[in-house]
Amino acid sequence: MSETVNVRVLLLFGDQAEIVADVPAEERAEPQRYPAADIAEAAGIPVDQLAGARLTAEVGDDDRLTGWRRA
């Protein structure tokens, strides 16, 4: 069973988006990078508008995020 989490796109770094959990800074883990184009397509947001976006994602068994949606 997967879990849905709230995340935020911190910034774009080349073709990658840096993602963090949408929680207070002191509770965050290190940002994780995911392909920006994959996130943009799934969430219906242009790549150049991803930075700062608040999304939800599904956490898989391997702790990787998928199923990106606008929050």
pLDDT digit string (tens) for 25-71?
Answer: 787 788 999 999 999 999 999 999 999 999 999 998 888 999 999 99
Helix (H) or strand (E) holding 50: none
What whole-number distance in Å separates Cα of residue 62 and Cα of residue 21? 16
Identify the burial level of 45 via C-beta atoms within 10 angstroms of its C-beta, where 0-12 means exposed, 13-18 middle and 19 or more buried.
middle
Please report the pLDDT score of residue 28 as a whole number: 77
Confidence (pTM): 0.88
